[in-house]
Structure 1
Amino acid sequence: MKRIGMLLIALACLCSAFSWPVIVQAAPSVSTHAEAAALIDVRSGRVLYSRQGDKPMRVASLTKVMTAIVAIENGKLSSMVKVGKNAFRKEGSSIYLRLNEEMSLQHLLYGMMLRSGNDAATAIAEHVGGTLDGFVYMMNEKAKMIGMTHSSFKNPHGLDAEGHYSTANDMAMLTAYALRNPVFQEIVKTKVKKAPNPNERWDYNWLNKNKMLHIYEGADGVKTGYTKLAKRCLISSATRNGQQLAVVTLNDSDDWADHAKLLDYGFKNYPLETFIRKGDAVQGSDYVAGADFAYPALNEEKSRISSKIVLNAANSTSFRLGEAGRLQYLIDGKEIGHVVLLPKDSPRLKQKEGSAFSFTESSAGESSLFEKWLYHLHFLVRVLFLGRSN
């Protein structure tokens, strides 16, 4: 019973961090060369700028952001992956894996994200998903959970395919989600990575294709992309003064300059402001905040931000799991986010940041606990009955 109780608590914590707000307020204008673009604050999930943000478009190798986060969350980084015939000599960008070569999942992730190896993406997908189709299913289920309502994935690498598309807003939402994972964050900020090469006398030496890591102060990710149909696509991120922003551009002929411009725009106009710290007493209640709450707001918006306490019913599941309620934050009456209210002696106050707070619901709504449970159950069934390909 104790294990079941702990599992319920873990699931409750897991479910609180999947949805992201897409709220865009008036701000000084900025222009780009992109057909579609989005700028997002990673911590809050707030979209600070959007140009044709919901237009479905080809996203080329930006797809690999989804491939990476699904693999990180569902695979074992130290597991060895054998390169099969589907991955061997995969067309497009490559890290030149050999047939039947073995490499750790962790090193394959570096090869995929730094050098955009389509062969690495394919090998990862078959290893983690059992089959390519199985992994693509996992990608689309993850998209639903995050709230990517205008996206459809058909492969793990991003080569042009009918029905394979996303949007600038959706990819921004995905990037903000992925950057909260420390393994993903470490990979995409790496400028150079060496990996063992048992078939040669030299190691693999991968240089990150993302030039933003070298030309923009504070840059720390994330992925380049290009196909003849998608044109130049790019996701970049940067952190300054404790605030991390991410930019997505699709079909942008001057992407490096546009990303620097959009990041500057975000840091200047939307500085992150902390409204409450984890463990702080909540005025008007006997409870404390279960997490920090910080939000990027225009100067003119700050005076319009208010808070409201909403208590859980004593017979509710959340209350039985230790959550007394939540402290909502609102702009002009519309919720922009919230933190859970916890008793002062709650053991959850000792957990790492991120396990006790939630962003406000996206326009698509929050995935249900049952849907998330079903997703993970499906993956376990594939592993148990179909096995993993080598």
Structure 2
Amino acid sequence: MRKTVIFILTFILSISLIISSAKANSIPPSVSADGVILMDATTGNILYSKNKDVKYPPASTTKIMTALLALENCKLDEVVKVGKKPPLVDGSKIYIFENEKLTVKDLLYGLLLQSANDCAEALAEHISGSKENFAELMNKRAKELGCKNTTFKNAHGLYDDNHRTTAYDLALILKELIKHPEYKEISTTSIYYIPPTNQTGAKRPIWNKNKLVQKNSDSYYPECIGGKTGYTVQSKHSYVAAASRSNQTLIAILLHDTKHTYWSDVINLFNYGFNNFSLETFHSKGDSLGTYSINKNTEIPIVSAETSFYVKDKNSDEEPQFKINDQSLIKGDFKKGDIILDASILYKNKNVGTLKIASNVDYSSNNNLLASFKNTQITSSGLLKIASCVAIGALVVAFISVRLKKRFKKKRKKFKHIH
């Protein structure tokens, strides 16, 4: 009896510990940085944030925008001739020389691994002619990506009173940057050697400062696909990173960290995200979504125009829904496959994305009846039934016609006989 009681108590205690552990894992970790965001890279959904729209000086995390513009505007083997100003820039650098010829690839390695300010300015001048023009390009591209609280004044992030961004805006920039496989390859390289140039006769070694990709580091995180550190006295410490597990990629941004705990903080953020959320397919391209009423007499079949996703809370059983944003199609003309509507994806009472909807038939506002007929989506068996009905109807009509003709002839004979 005593053993049974001990077993039951042990079992209850074990269950309690498991439940307590699960609850603890579902609570966002404490992060020392002032501006923080954890974002799903596919949907843009925010999984955790703190002061996400507050402006902070980003220091060298600025360089993710410089890298993005270099990848968008240059080829990796493109040769850059260094001007007078880049070698004179302050702060971290790999000591390039005036008139030295390096490839864009070499400069990107210096930019992302060594956080070299001279490489940043060399790329800026190569792309835009001057660092001032490049700053204008940075701000233009930031707005295109949806950044609303960002002003860049330089390509490297050295402190400037007006050089500001937010955790949310940096997440949007990194979200775009990780679409480039070249970035992932460069950013996860532990050590790179710049080959001899017209100014140097020896290879130039460059080490990656990102501890999350260094296998011998106590902060090594195998799922990390890239990151960038930053620091100035005024900006404090900052760090941006992305990590992928299974089919999901998360982005973490930490700005203005006075305690320099971002290595452990970012790992805790990633683990929190992967443990509590999963990326799920909402609708695949071509999935039937039912019908949509164009008018009282016409309904058209609609399908998902693209594969859509949502981020599922692993601690919830709630399922996503969609709500079509009503739009009049009475005067529209479209073909099968054309995108004609969009819908809001709703999950846990929040709008978490947009679903593009396509017509599954051709439709013309000038010929509604034809469109309605097409909308019935008749199957081959249905066509056989219709054909059979038409054939039977034709036989019935023919039979009645023959009978009427015979009766008409008899009446005609009687009429002649009487007269």
- Indicate the TM-score class for this superposition, using the shorter chain for normalisation: 0.7 to 0.9
* Alignment of 1:229 onto 2:225: no
Gaps of 5+ in 2: 1-25, 215-219, 292-299, 362-419
Question: Which residue of 346, 354, 360 maps to 1:338?
Answer: 354
Residue 205 of structure 2: aligned partner: 205
* Alignment of 1:289 onto 2:296: no
Alpha carbons of structure 1 residues 84 and 150: separation in structure 2 relative to 1, 3 Å: same
Matches within 5 A, 1:114-125: 114-125=113-124
Kept in 1: contact 2:336–2:358 (CA 8 A): no
Flag the structure with more relative contact order, 1 or 2, with Cα contacts below 8 A and sequence separation at least 6: 1
Residue 18 of structure 1: aligned partner: none
Q: Which moved more, 1:300-309 or 1:206-215?
A: 300-309
* Alignment of 1:263 onto 2:262: no
Alpha carbons of structure 1 residues 192 and 292: separation in structure 2 relative to 1, 3 Å: farther
Kept in 1: contact 2:282–2:308 (CA 8 A): yes
Kept in 2: contact 1:85–1:99 (CA 8 A): yes
CA separation in 1, counterparts of 2:333 and 2:227?
38
Kept in 2: contact 1:89–1:96 (CA 8 A): no
Alpha carbons of structure 1 residues 105 and 302: separation in structure 2 relative to 1, 3 Å: farther
CA separation in 2, counterparts of 1:337 and 1:171?
20
Q: Which moved more, 1:318-327 or 1:64-73?
A: 318-327
Larger Rg: 2
CA separation in 1, counterparts of 2:88 and 2:337?
51
Deviation at 1:110, TM superposition (A): 1.9
Residue 14 of structure 1: aligned partner: none
Q: For residue 206 of structure 1, what is the amino acid of its counterpart?
A: I
Deviation at 1:84, TM superposition (A): 0.7
Kept in 2: contact 1:319–1:325 (CA 8 A): no
More helix by share: 2
* Alignment of 1:238 onto 2:243: yes
Deviation at 1:107, TM superposition (A): 2.1
Q: For residue 307 of structure 2, what is the amino acid of its counterpart?
A: D
Kept in 2: contact 1:312–1:323 (CA 8 A): no
Deviation at 1:336, TM superposition (A): 1.7
Question: For each residue in 1:68-106, what CA deviation from the matched residue of structure 2 results, as whole angstroms up to 9, or x when unmatched?
Answer: 112221233332111111111321111211111011122
Q: For residue 211 of structure 1, what is the amino acid of its counterpart?
A: K
Identity within the alignment, %: 34
CA separation in 2, counterparts of 1:196 and 1:82?
15
CA separation in 1, counterparts of 2:235 and 2:159?
8
Deviation at 1:158, TM superposition (A): 0.1
CA separation in 1, counterparts of 2:339 and 2:104?
37
CA separation in 2, counterparts of 1:65 and 1:315?
47
Residue 186 of structure 2: aligned partner: 187
Moved over 4 A (4+): 310-321, 342-345
Residue 370 of structure 1: aligned partner: none
2:36 alignment partner, SS class = strand
* Alignment of 1:217 onto 2:216: no
Q: For residue 205 of structure 2, what is the amino acid of its counterpart?
A: N
Alpha carbons of structure 1 residues 113 and 338: separation in structure 2 relative to 1, 3 Å: same
Gaps of 5+ in 1: 1-26, 346-390
CA separation in 2, counterparts of 1:130 and 1:321?
45
The count of corresponding residues between Structure 1 and Structure 2 is: 320
1:251 alignment partner, SS class = strand
Alignment RMSD (CA, Å): 2.7
Deviation at 1:193, TM superposition (A): 2.5
CA separation in 1, counterparts of 2:303 and 2:195?
49
Residue 176 of structure 1: aligned partner: 175
Residue 154 of structure 2: aligned partner: 155
Kept in 2: contact 1:87–1:120 (CA 8 A): yes
Give the TM-score of the pair, scaled to structure 1.
0.75
Alpha carbons of structure 1 residues 153 and 280: separation in structure 2 relative to 1, 3 Å: same
